[in-house]
Amino acid sequence: MSRQFLVNKRDAKIMGVCAGIADYMGWDASLVRIAFVVAALFGVGSPILIYLLIGFIAPSLR
């Protein structure tokens, strides 16, 4: 059985990308959100642009 990444709108704060990543990786969503904020503050790889792209492209779990 293969896993598929889904944006998690049920546990979303904004678009559900961090919650989806947490579900996919088996991590806590709060840790993923904190890592995203830290990455955004330090500008590591344009995380805001990547977040938006994932949010609009990935299928969602409602």
Structure pTM? 0.85
48 in a domain, yes or no? yes
Q: What is the pLDDT of residues 12-46, one digit of tens each?
A: 999 999 999 999 999 999 999 999 999 999 988 89
Query: What is the domain extent for residue 27?
Result: 7-61
Q: What is the pLDDT of residues 43-56, one digit of tens each?
A: 888 999 999 999 99
What count of other Cβ atoms lies within 10 Å of the Cβ of residue 20? 25
Both structure tokens of 39:
């990455």
20 in a domain, yes or no? yes
Q: How many domains does the chain have?
A: 1
Q: Is the pLDDT of residue 7 over 80?
A: yes
1 in a domain, yes or no? no
Identify the pLDDT of residue 56.
Answer: 92
Residues in CB range of 29: below 8 A, 6 or more apart: 11, 18, 19, 22, 23
Both structure tokens of 6:
């889904």
53: amino acid identity, one letter: L
22 in a domain, yes or no? yes
2 in a domain, yes or no? no
Identify the pLDDT of residue 54.
Answer: 93
